[in-house]
Chains A and B, each alone.
Chain A
Amino acid sequence: MTVNDKVNILMVDDQPAKLLSYEAILGELGDNLIKAGSGREALEVLLKNDVAVVLMDVSMPELDGFEMAEIIRQHPRFQKTAIIFISAVHLTDIDRLKGYARGAVDYISVPVVPEVLRAKVSVFAELHRKTRQLEALNRGLEQRVLERTEELRQRAELLDLASEAIMVRDLQGNLKFFNTGAETLYGWKREEVIGRNIHELLQTSYPMPIQQIMDNVTQSGRWQGNLVQYSKDGREIVVASRQALKLEEHGSNAVLLEINRDITAQLHAEEALRKAERLAAMGRVAGIIAHEINNPLEAITNAFYLLRDHHSLDEQARMLANMAEEELLRVAHITRQTLSFYRESQQAVMISVARLLDDVLELQSRLLRLNAITLDKKYLTEGAILGFPSDLKQVFLNLVGNAIQAMPEGGRLRVRVANANGNGSRRFGVRVSVCDTGAGIKPEDAKRLFEPFFTTKSAKGTGLGLWISKGIVQKYEGSIRFRSLRMNGRNTTCFSVFLPGLRAADGGESTKVQEAIGSV
């Protein structure tokens, strides 16, 4: 028996001699014996010590044993404490019942038989010892449960800290777990989705038949790949998904752990980069090809120019030479378009955008008449900016030319020049808009409109006009955009070019210009 296993036995009697005799009898049990001369003293001991058995004389002055037992029992801690009464007087059965009702567990009559006393006390001491061990074991268990709970809580928190969407579902797809990352990614709240089917909820489209994925998961335990899913508000999300099968302990109820990382933005960035690289490469190729073509083109053009008027040609030969020269002009036009960066004047000069547009419209006046297009132009400013006339002329010629070609059956060409603040910034500049009532731009074409070699005019277009125009406008740190609307069966397509102009600080000049132009 170790020290720790010793229990306390409290002996209560008003006669010290009796206490001594009990001590002698119980000494060999090896437990701690505590003596108390009165009920009060006994209570003090009880409050300070964990007592296994109370051995108590029934008849004591002040508080008798029964009263004492009642007080002891009222204390919640002592409700289970064993009390053995020692009675010198004969107790009736009624008395004994009264004692039991007050918490006695046993009685011993005087004269005390030492073996009987020892036996009875040791039973309760042993019981207490066992109870104590059990309690200690219980506390240990509780502590472990607490620790484990805390561990699980921390793990759950970790799951919620993860930016990935982490979900657990059964093989049919019914959700059992949905972390905070999933809530953020998909916009659904945990309580909205638990128990619902993940496939219906997220409208997942798989890169291969779902059965194939499930086969893979059941065979190897895992699968990974990209999925397209939809958030609660209908946003398309591309996720890198990892799925792992977990067999529950009892076998049949397997669950699937699905961890999804949002790669939508990453994919968009990669796509944009690829596109930019492709455009740059195409631009370089276009430039090189144009240069290689220009050299022989000049020679051929010169040859036909000389041939056209050659005295030896008959009428038919002259006609053929003329046709060849006309076709060569088209080739020259194409390569000139790719030569957008070539500038005739080497120094930027003050340009009036309005005057430039008038030049362009004059050039196109014949086509406007031929196609029965009404011109509606309004210049609210002269649009004085510093630049290269040939560049900007090319941009406007392109926009006006496109507008005219979009209206073979006639229509309305609207041209505006106005002062503007570009792109919501406070930059001062000129905005030119060219609008037509022609065929309109199909939504699927809209994205590619500014790409080189993209054309909606089949063989007639080079696919370079808008690409070059955009390049020129960007050189001016301006912007070009368009809008195509269909309303009441009629299309309106507007291209709008913003060119940064003189700052407001040196705007005195431009105000004067504005007034002069007001009457146009």
Chain B
Amino acid sequence: MVPSKSIILCVDDEPNALMLRRLVLEKAGYSVVTAPSSAEALRILSNTPVDLVLSDQLMPGGTGTDLARQVKARHPNLPFVIISGVNELPPDSAQADLFLSKVEGPVAMCDKISGVLERFRDQNESA
């Protein structure tokens, strides 16, 4: 269980995938905000406090790594995780703090997200 409910911004252009991922994350104890596109995600980020962004990689309006670069420019300390079904890591995959495979399953996804959150909490506290 997450001590104080962390807020995750979930980005994906596929509504079913987005809804199910949101339910899995909520079941793991997170608060979830969703966005169907990069543009909407950026808009939400400008007025809503968020602890982590979890984005799909291949989306019509721009890739997840593109979004990561824009988010990091404004919020360098906000962890950014990409979840993707692609076979090869994109060349700019380092923009994200973690690159997850969709086939890893819900349990691994939640574990790894909590790992990233912890790492950032430690960093931000010591900073």
**1/0 per position for B4-18, CB-CB distance to A under 8 A?**
000000000010110
Q: Does A237 contact B (CB under 8 A)?
A: no
- Residues of B77-100 at the interface with A, using a CB-CB cut-off of 8 Å, are 83, 85-89, 93-94, 99
Nearest-Cβ distance from residue B78 to partner chain A, whole angstroms: 19
Q: Is the interface of A mostly helix, strand, loop or mixed?
A: helix
Size of A's binding interface in residues, CB under 8 A: 27
Residues from chain B with a CB closer than 8 A to the CB of A299 are 14, 16-17, 20
Q: Is A479 an interface residue (CB 8 A)?
A: no
Verify A295–B85 contact, CB threshold 8 A. yes
Are B101's CB and A336's CB within 8 A? yes
Task: How many A-B residue pairs have C-beta atoms within 8 angstroms? Tell me.
Answer: 72
Which of B88, B93, B94 is close to A341, meaning CB atoms less than 8 Å apart? B88
Q: Is B23 on the interface with A (CB-CB < 8 A)?
A: yes
Distance (whole angstroms) from the CB of B114 to the closest CB of chain A: 16
Quick one: which of B97-122 are within 8 Å of A by CB? Answer: 99, 101-103, 105-107
Q: What is the CB-to-nearest-CB distance from B59 to chain A, in angstroms, rounded to a whole number?
A: 11
User: What is the CA–CA distance of A210 and B64 in the complex, to the nearest angstrom?
Assistant: 67
Chain B min CB distance to A431 (Å): 29
Cβ proximity bits A298-312 to B, threshold 8 Å, 1 near / 0 not: 110111011000000
Note all chain B residues with C-beta closer than 8 A to A291. Answer: 85-87
Min CB distance B122 to A, Å, is: 19
Interface core residue of B21, B102, B103 (most chain A CB under 10 Å)? B103
Q: Which residues of B contact A293 (CB under 8 A)?
A: 85
Contact A306:B24 (CB < 8 A) given known A295-B14, A299-B14, A341-B87:
yes
Report the nearest B residue to A334, measured CB to CB: B103
| Residues of chain B contacted by A297 (CB below 8 angstroms) | 85, 102-103
Given A294-B102, A298-B103, A336-B103, is A305 in contact with B89 using a C-beta cutoff of 8 Å? no
A338 on the interface (CB 8 Å rule)? yes
Interface centre among B20, B21, B83, B107 (most CB of A within 10 A): B20
Bound-state CA distance A329–B102 (Å) is 12
For the complex, give the distance between the alpha carbons of A287 and B88 in Å. 9
Known: A299-B14, A338-B87, A346-B89. A306 touches B23 (CB 8 A): yes
Q: Does B27 contact A (CB under 8 A)?
A: yes
Chain A residue at smallest Cβ distance from B24: A302
Return the CB mask of A322-353 against B: 1 if under 8 Å, else 0.
00000001001001101101111010000000
- Cα of A297 to Cα of B106 in the assembled complex, Å: 11
- B-side contacts of A338, CB under 8 Å: 87
Tell me which of B17, B23, B99 contacts A298 (CB under 8 A). B17
CB neighbours (8 Å) of A356 from chain B are none
A434 to chain B, nearest CB (A): 25
- Asked if A290 is an interface residue, CB under 8 A from chain B, the answer is yes
Q: How far is the CB of A339 from chain B (nearest CB, A)?
A: 6
Given A297-B102, A302-B20, A306-B24, A290 and B87 contact (CB-CB distance below 8 Å): yes
- A287-B87, A291-B85, A295-B14 as given contacts; A306 in contact with B103, CB under 8 Å: no
User: What residues on B are CB-neighbors of A290 within 8 Å?
Assistant: 85, 87
A302 B23 Cβ-Cβ under 8 A: yes
Of all chain B residues, the one with the shortest Cβ separation from A332 is B103
Asked, given contacts A338-B87, A346-B94, whether A305 binds B24 with beta carbons under 8 Å apart, the answer is yes
Q: Which residue of B lies closest to A325 (CB)?
A: B105
Partner of B106 from A294, A295, A305, A344 at Cβ < 8 Å: A305
Q: Enumerate chain A residues within 8 angstroms of B107, measured Cβ to Cβ.
A: 305
Q: Are B21 and A302 in contact (CB under 8 A)?
A: yes
Instruction: Name the B residues within 8 Å of A306 (CB-CB).
Output: 20, 23-24, 27
* Cα–Cα, bound, A306→B14 (Å): 18
Contacting pair B20 A294 (CB below 8 A):
no
* A341 contacts across to B, CB distance below 8 A: 87-89
**Cβ contact within 8 Å between A295 and B102:** yes
Chain B neighbourhood of A342, CB < 8 A: 86-89, 101
Residue of chain B at shortest CB distance from A299: B17
Once the chains are docked, how many angstroms separate the CA of A303 from the CA of B105?
11
The reply to whether A295 and B89 form a contact with Cβ atoms under 8 Å apart is no
Q: What are the residues of chain B within 8 A of A344 when measuring CB–CB?
A: 99
User: Once bound together, how far apart are the Cα atoms of A75 and B93, in whole Å?
Assistant: 108
Q: Chain B contacts of A332 at CB under 8 A?
A: 103, 105
Tell me how far the C-beta of A347 lies from the nearest C-beta in chain B, rounded to whole angstroms: 10
Specify which chain A residues have a CB less than 8 angstroms from the CB of B17 in the assembled complex. 295-296, 298-299, 302
Taking a contact as CB atoms under 8 Å apart, the answer to whether B93 and A339 are in contact is: no
Residues of A within 8 A of B14 (CB): 295, 299
- Which A residues are closer than 8 A to B by beta carbons? 287, 290-299, 301-303, 305-306, 329, 332, 335-336, 338-339, 341-344, 346
- Pick 15 A–B contacts, CB within 8 A, sort by A: A290-B87, A291-B85, A293-B85, A294-B85, A294-B101, A295-B14, A297-B103, A298-B17, A302-B23, A302-B106, A305-B105, A305-B106, A306-B24, A306-B27, A329-B105
B residues contacting A by CB (< 8 A) are 14, 16-17, 20-21, 23-24, 27, 83, 85-89, 93-94, 99, 101-103, 105-107
- By Cβ-Cβ distance, the 3 closest A-B pairs, closest first, are A294-B85, A298-B102, A302-B20
